[in-house]
Structure 1
Amino acid sequence: MAKDLRGFIAELEEKSPEDVARVKKLVSPRYEMSAILTHLERKKRLPLLYFENVEGGRAPVVINAMASRPLMAMAMETKPEDLARKFIERQANVIPPVEVSDGPVQEAIRVGDDVDLAELPMLTHYDVNVAPYITAGIVVAQDPDTGVRNTSYNRLMMAGKRELRIFMAIGRHLWTLHNKMERRDQPLPVAIVIGVHPLFALGAQAFTPADEDEYAVIGGMMNEPLRLVKARTVPLLVPADAELVVEGRMLPHVRREEGPFGEFTGHAVEKDDRQVIEVTAVTHRKNYIFQDIHAGYTEHKLMGAVPREAALLKAVRNAVPTVKDVCMPVSGNCRFHAYISITKRTPGQAKNAICAAIASDMLLKHVVVVDDDIDVFDEEAVLWAVSNRFQADRGLVVIANAQGSELDPTAGPGGVNAKMGIDATKPLGGFPPPLRVPDEVMNRIRLEDFLPHFAK
């Protein structure tokens, strides 16, 4: 059976039912779902939320399908601390997709004037939003010359029955494809895929060269060929086992106001004129599940961490082969901070790791390098290393006026910002040892034998 969203939910309910919360009471996608999620976030509770009874009789809504490392590790059949390594392994093992004649995603079809985006249970997340958004939409486009497919997450604002307005990061593949078509005065055919297995979502975010077909990368991530079916109104193949697909054309030379929008930084991005998609069809399963990624909250941040950590690990490994682990923590939006552990062999290796990291990902602002006895997934341990092993006059690296993210609220025009690296590794040649109980005693004394209540 092909991997899909509903199959993942069923597996999660079987293996870890405490991680699924079904909401049966009537709830509105306008602010109310956001309020429930906000209460849970404040309590540090991150279950997969399944809203069964949505106002207006619309489809059920799922949020938080990728809101924790254990959840993604379950999907990838690995340990949470090994996600980046497993991602690298699967990204290298591409599996080409296969075309099929039909699929569940086209059990119901609406074309042209029969389309009304208001029928979809899109969320209005915050008071700054002037319209509902598709936030879990994976935009598929194809290079008109090579046929190579690109996939990317982009925020999409509803602006009418058949109109969406899209934000694209400058210089990324989708932006480049639209520019290519715009120079030819032609629209770019697109398909927006909603409701997929977490491995599909992770693969869609992989850092790839422009000439690599990302459907094949997704297949590698899922460890099975992606099943594709012909779209109904655009010359694209779309995932047969998705919950829903919106087909359309990104228009040339048309810009209309989009925003404000609450981004991953937890701050609102101001409105601006952006590209427009004219929707030509909506296809979906008969009883489809609508998926949302709640802007600015844990899932929004964490789902982007694993692909970035994989790319970061590869880049640092080229400069410092003894790198052990990397982590992009939620505290840095899983984009602005990186913690890197290395087995230090020679002086200066930590600074080499800092330089490699900053060069590999323009969104990074702060990089902390620690020794291999520090768990980079334990933020308290990383900060302990900074406190006890770092001196600013010899371990600080600052790079001014570098390219960063235009979504960073502290950045200058065009996203220009400063980068900082912290060498929190011990100097070679001697350092006071950390305190520890002998290993033999730790292994022999089991907490459950003395304090069973606290051993759980």
Structure 2
Amino acid sequence: MKNDTQTPKASDLRQWLAHLEATGRLAVMREGVPLKHRLAAIAKRLDGTQAAYFPKPDGHAVPVVSGFVSRRAWIAEAMGVAESGLLAAFRQAADRPLPWREVDPGTAACQQVVHRMDAGSDLRALLPIPTHSEHDNGPYITAGLVIARNPLTGVQNVSINRIQVHGPDRMAILMLPRHLLAFYKAAESQGQALDVAVVIGADPLTLLASQAITPIDHDELEIAGALHGAPLPVTKCVTNDVRVPAGAEIVIEGRILPEVREPEGPFGEFPKYYSAQENREVIVVDAVTTRRDPIYHTIVPAEMEHLLLGAIPREATMLAHLQRSFPGVLDVHLSVGGVGRYHLFVKFRKQREGEPKNVILGAFGAHYDIKQVVVVDDDVDVHDPQQVEWAVATRFQADRDLIVIAGAQGSVLDPSTTVTGGWADSDEPAPPHLQGIGAKMGLDATRPVAYRGHVFTKVRIPGEDEIDLDEEIDRGARVDWQAGTVKS
């Protein structure tokens, strides 16, 4: 569904799901779909076309939903902007966050029902947690916003982390070297656990805000408020001081234990490969609070909901970062083929030879996940991979326009990265300081600033963009092929 006009913003998950259902973009499944593999398989088949709603999965009382932000146009619609204004609107919210508004815990919808974990309590019985991919090592929470407070400053951080549930009240969490891990290391260095909340069933805009690329001690819930156009209502957890979105469906409260590691993985990640089993940090669960009749959200790994939630905030950050140094940068796109993380396409209005190479180097410095950068001219749509490939095919020569940087830090989840010291052939995982080492590649697919005649002029037919086919085609016409005449 194309969105070229402003629409109401998604105030909460249920309002957004009702809107999708009313516009034919939500499919309700038959009751009882198995949580192991089958639910994820069905959601994947509908990926990018309809959200999937599963009542009573495996007979569980709590329904599951997936895929409700699986198209770029839907995310723009939830924000109330045209798709062309998506990155600008997100960047504005990130630059002008709104402090959240705290509400009394007794009034917060996310705490209408409180389950305190005690002997006999089992998280897997309380919540319908799916097992997604073929070789996943059990059920995983994939759409949980992990919220924690900096032990040194008290400022919160929000991120989405994969979490394996492997006991009644124990979960293993993957923390990449970002803010949450820094908070945990600060707490662990003092021999303390880090209080956390895992929020499941947040509205689309809060989900998107959680993926913002910000400096440490910038609370993403304040960006969520800016996206909503009003301070986000939050409430304090029942068992700790973490503040969570008051309108969320489910909140798991717990602590990441110091000096405790347990096996996690394998797990099918966003590059569409499995991460190996390693010892990870452990969350012990203290309580689960929910709305009455809650809805559980799961993200099918490596599919469009997963890729877009990560790509759009990164694109907005990349665009702002590059434009500060290179005013000729007009647009950026993290391609789906590059799993929304690794391959960046940059639209650039070149004034001097050599500028695209500087843009490439600037992009590599903006985020270590970026593995390949293609710079194209302003007559190329970076959101159309076919046009980008055309630019590479006709404006790029490898001996002149290629940049390769060896031995750089890349994504630790990229299975093609190599490590030093013989770890590549070892059954043991490499130590963290050796993980994710790989090469960066930049392609200058721009035409020369000056050239003769029309050798680099893109072929077009005058008026082709203004044609209205409904005016040109006679829908009721029929050809008499014997007489060679047309009858309306």
Q: TM-score range by the shorter chain?
A: over 0.9
1:420 is the counterpart of 2:441: yes
Is residue 169 of structure 1 aligned with residue 190 of structure 2? Answer: no
Residue aligning to 1:49: 52
Q: Give the fraction of aligned pairs with identical amino acids, expressed as a percent.
A: 40
List aligned pairs for 1:419-438, cutoff 5 A: 419-430=440-451, 431-438=455-462
Task: Name 1:23's counterpart in structure 2.
Answer: 29
Runs of 4+ in 1 over 6 A off after TM superposition: none
Answer yes or no: is 1:106 the counterpart of 2:118. no
Deviation at 1:6, TM superposition (A): 0.7
**Greater percentage in helix:** 1
Cα offset, 1:297, TM superposition: 1.6
Provide the C-alpha distance between the structure 1 equivalents of 2:117 and 2:33, rounded to a whole number of angstroms. 30
Q: Structure 1 length as normaliser, TM-score?
A: 0.95
| Conservation of the 8 A alpha-carbon contact between 2:98 and 2:223 | yes
Counterparts of 1:38-437 in structure 2 under 5 Å?
A: 38-41=44-47, 45-101=48-104, 102-113=107-118, 115-119=121-125, 120-170=127-177, 172-413=178-419, 414-430=435-451, 431-437=455-461
CA 1:92 to 1:186, structure 2 compared with 1: closer, same or farther past 3 Å?
same
Return 5+ residue gaps in structure 1 as ranges. Answer: none
* C-alpha deviation, 1:58, in angstroms: 2.8
Structure 2 Cα separation of the partners of residues 13 and 452 of structure 1: 34
- The Cα shift of 1:2 comes to 8.6
Give 2:462's aligned amino acid.
P
Q: Deviations over 1:270-294 (max 9, x none)?
A: 1000000000000001110000011
AA of the residue aligned to 1:254: V
* SS, match of residue 180 in structure 1: helix
Aligned residues of 2:32 and 2:59 also touching (Cα < 8 A): no
Letter aligned with residue 72 of structure 1: I
Rounded to whole Å, the distance in 2 between the matches of 1:396 and 1:54 is 51
The answer on whether the counterparts of 2:10 and 2:78 sit within 8 Å (CA) in structure 1 is no
- 2:16 matched residue in structure 1: 8
Q: Deviations over 1:155-192 (max 9, x none)?
A: 0000111001000002x000000000000000000000
SS of residue paired to 1:332 = coil
Residues 442/95 of structure 1: CA separation in 2 closer, same or farther (3 Å cut): closer
Q: Aligned partners of 2:251, 2:465: CA distance in 1, in Å?
A: 55
* Cα-to-partner distance string for 1:8-53 (whole Å, 9 max, x where unaligned): 1112233x32x21111342011111122134345xxx531111123
Give 1:82 shift.
2.6
In structure 2, relative to structure 1, the CA distance for the partners of 1:239 and 1:320 (3 Å cut) is same
More moved, 52-61 vs 391-400: 52-61
SS at match of 2:358: helix
In structure 2, C-alpha distance between the alignment counterparts of 1:38 and 1:48, rounded to whole Å: 10
2:39 aligned to 33, 36, 47, which one? Answer: 33
Could you tell me how far 1:130 is from its partner in structure 2? 2.1
Which stretch of structure 1 is more off in the superposition, 180-189 or 208-217? 208-217
Equivalenced residue count is 446
Q: Which amino acid aligns with 1:126?
A: S
Aligned pair in 2 of structure 1 residues 251, 386: CA closer, same or farther (>3 Å)? same
| Inter-partner Cα distance in structure 2 for 1:9 and 1:234 | 30
Rg larger in 1 or in 2? 2
String of CA shifts for 1:355-396, please: whole Å, max 9, x gaps: 111110100111100001100001101101111111111111
Change (3 A) 1:185 1:348: same
- The answer to whether the 8 A contact 1:115-1:282 is kept is no
Tell me the alpha carbon deviations over residues 81-115 of structure 1, each in whole angstroms, 9 at most, x when there is no partner. Answer: 33212110111121111111121101110112164
Contact map agreement 2:202 2:245 (CA 8 A) in 1: no
CA distance in 1, matches of 2:90, 2:468: 35
Structure 2 stretches lacking a partner, 5+ long: 1-8, 420-434, 477-488
Kindly state the Cα deviation for residue 222 of structure 1 after the two structures are TM-superposed: 2.1
Secondary structure, counterpart of 1:121 in structure 2: coil
Q: Secondary structure at the match of 1:264?
A: coil
Distance, in Å, in 1 between the alignment partners of 2:349 and 2:474 is: 36
Asked if the contact 1:366–1:419 (Cα under 8 Å) also holds between the matched residues in 2, the reply is yes
Whole-angstrom distance in 2 between the partners of 1:271 and 1:4: 36
Query: Which segment drifts farther, 91-100 or 254-263?
Result: 91-100
Give the 3 Å change call, closer, same or farther, for CA 383–26 of structure 1 in structure 2.
same
Q: Distance in 2 between matches of 1:2 and 1:343?
A: 36
TM-score (norm 2): 0.88
* CA separation of 1:366 and 1:203: change in aligned 2, threshold 3 A: same
> For the residues of structure 1 that align with 2:205 and 2:167, how far apart are their CA atoms?
32
Aligned AA for 2:306? H
Q: CA deviation at 1:448?
A: 1.4
Q: CA RMSD in A?
A: 1.7
Q: 1:364 to 1:73 in 2, by over 3 A?
A: same
Give the Cα–Cα distance (whole angstroms) in 2 for the partners of residues 370 and 82 of structure 1: 21
Q: Which whole-Å CA distance do the structure 2 matches of 1:40 and 1:216 have between them?
A: 32
Aligned to 1:448: 470
Contact kept? 2:10, 2:16, Cα under 8 Å: no
